[in-house]
Amino acid sequence: MNVRLYFLSIWSFLDPIYFVLTRLTYIDQEKKNIFRVRLTKYKGRDVILSDGSRIVKNDLLIKIHLHNARLLKEIKLLSNPLSKGKLIHKLIYDSMPELAKYINNHSLEKEIKGIIGITMINKGFRALGFECFSPVSRIYKWFKFITQLPIFLLSTSHFSIKNFHKHSPIYLVMSKDQLLNKYYRPTGNSQ
């Protein structure tokens, strides 16, 4: 337990540096959203999503990053994996409308095709509207595995080799249309 808190302190210290180096942006002024984002050009294989949207090389996407330092602080007192999963799901679900609003109001909204993220947490995302794809490049997959391993280890209550082998990095993708249809809630009076 003390080792986990020690690493969480280190992660919290390094997080602002990571934020700057990855050119991330907060999507809300209060910085309460669990996502931090940046524009990216897609470099993976062509994918066709269930709503018929096609994502191809060089399409403009919003890359979503979970605010891991905040997420780990939120779940640090929970020992039950089910409770952790429910909290992570709730934080993401509650953040989706603000993400939809951010994209709808973005100056490049018409060019943005969707959102993409990569994670080793591979349960519950389909219920949120994401589609999952495995990266094709083994080098990229291993790179992401190594860089996400510390977060994975800090977020698990009980480490086991059996459980560890079930997790590998996956892309989470959602088209802009799907995101806006599912989560966008316009504010203000409509005329």
Asked if residue 188 is part of any domain, the answer here is no
Pairing state between β 60-66 and 112-119: parallel
Asked if residue 104 is part of any domain, the answer here is yes
Structural domain of residue 43, as residue ranges? 2-183
Asked if residue 189 is part of any domain, the answer here is no
**Of 17-26, 34-43, 135-144, which one has max mean pLDDT?**
34-43
Q: What value does the mean pLDDT take over residues 96-125? A: 91
Which residue(s) pair with 173 in the sheet?
116, 131
Pairing state between β 35-41 and 25-26: antiparallel
Asked if residue 150 is part of any domain, the answer here is yes
Residues 135-166 pLDDT 10s: 887 887 777 777 666 666 666 655 555 665 56
Asked if residue 60 is part of any domain, the answer here is yes
Examine the pLDDT at 191 and tell me if it is beyond 50: no
81 three-class SS? helix
- Structural domains counted in the chain: 1
Examine the pLDDT at 189 and tell me if it is beyond 50: no
Asked if residue 163 is part of any domain, the answer here is yes
Asked if residue 190 is part of any domain, the answer here is no
Region of 125 on the Ramachandran plot (φ > 0 left; ψ -120 to 50 alpha; else beta): alpha
19-28, 69-78, 99-108: which has the minimum mean pLDDT?
69-78
Asked if residue 134 is part of any domain, the answer here is yes
CB burial of 114-128 (b: ≥16 within 10 Å; e: otherwise) equals bbbbbbbbeeebeee
